[in-house]
């Protein structure tokens, strides 16, 4: 989680210019939901249903000034299903403050599905659902669409120059 290369997203300006920008600048695993309780990276064995995990992330935002260009959040990871052929992971934001705004639990949430193709076992299908609520949803459509494409490219191992479907 921490040692992976940067995830990039395509940022589109109001004038239509496209540039590649980092989505996440820094992240680390936590023992619980408190940012001060940093720990080493999670192991595969720790990702089991019923055992929530937490991580801290400093990431990009497209909010207009005076809001800073980066935010820090704590996220909760829940493994909803884990079999040799399917993995379902939910990631939700924990309560916190971003600049002068208060985020509630789950204002930013996503559920990620990885499923092995039944006819071609070395092919995996990826599907993600993202939800924004409260202040996280304000003027965030383009940013989160670009973020979702960036996360897909990162998960699929595609270079930034390859446009995600």
- Summarised one tens digit per residue, pLDDT across range 63-120 is 555 555 667 789 999 999 999 999 999 999 887 755 556 677 777 888 999 999 999 9
Q: What is the pLDDT of residue 122?
A: 93
Q: Per-residue pLDDT for 28 more than 80?
A: yes
11 pLDDT above the threshold of 60: no
Do 4 and 37 form a contact (C-beta atoms < 8 A)?
A: no
Which own/partner contact pairs does 112-118 have at CB distance under 8 Å and 24+ positions apart? 112/87, 112/88, 112/155, 113/86, 113/87, 113/88, 114/86, 114/87, 114/88, 115/85, 115/86, 115/87, 116/84, 116/85, 116/86
Return the residue matching tokens 């939800």: 131
Spatial separation of the C-alpha atoms in residues 102 and 134, rounded to whole Å: 9
Percent of the chain predicted with pLDDT > 90: 35
Radius of gyration of the chain (CA): 16
Residue 10 has a pLDDT of: 46
Other CB atoms within a 10 A radius of the CB of residue 39 amount to 13
Q: What confidence score (pLDDT) does residue 52 get?
A: 95
Closest alpha carbon to 98 in 63, 141, 133: 63
With beta carbons less than 8 A apart as the criterion, state whether 134 and 140 touch.
no
Q: How many CA atoms lie within 13 A of 81 on its CB side?
A: 11
Q: What is the pLDDT of residue 8?
A: 45
Give the pLDDT confidence of 122-150 residue by residue, as tens digits: 999 988 888 877 655 555 555 556 666 66
Average model confidence (pLDDT) across the chain: 75
The pTM of the full predicted model, rounded to 2 decimals, is: 0.69
């Amino acid at each position: 989680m921490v040692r992976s290369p940067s995830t990039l997203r395509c940022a589109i300006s109001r004038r239509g210019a496209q540039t590649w920008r980092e989505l996440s600048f820094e992240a680390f695993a936590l023992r619980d939901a408190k940012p001060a309780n940093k720990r080493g990276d999670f192991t595969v064995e720790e990702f089991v249903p019923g055992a929530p995990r937490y991580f801290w992330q400093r990431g990009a935002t497209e909010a207009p000034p005076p809001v800073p260009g980066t935010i820090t959040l704590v996220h909760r990871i829940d493994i909803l299903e884990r079999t040799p052929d399917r993995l379902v992971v939910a990631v939700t934001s924990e309560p916190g403050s971003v600049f002068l705004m208060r985020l509630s639990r789950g204002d930013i949430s996503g559920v990620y599905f990885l499923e092995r193709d039944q006819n071609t076992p070395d092919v995996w299908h990826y599907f993600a659902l993202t939800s924004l609520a409260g202040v996280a949803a304000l003027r965030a459509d383009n940013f989160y669409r670009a973020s979702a494409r960036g996360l897909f490219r990162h998960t699929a191992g595609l270079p930034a120059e390859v446009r995600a479907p």
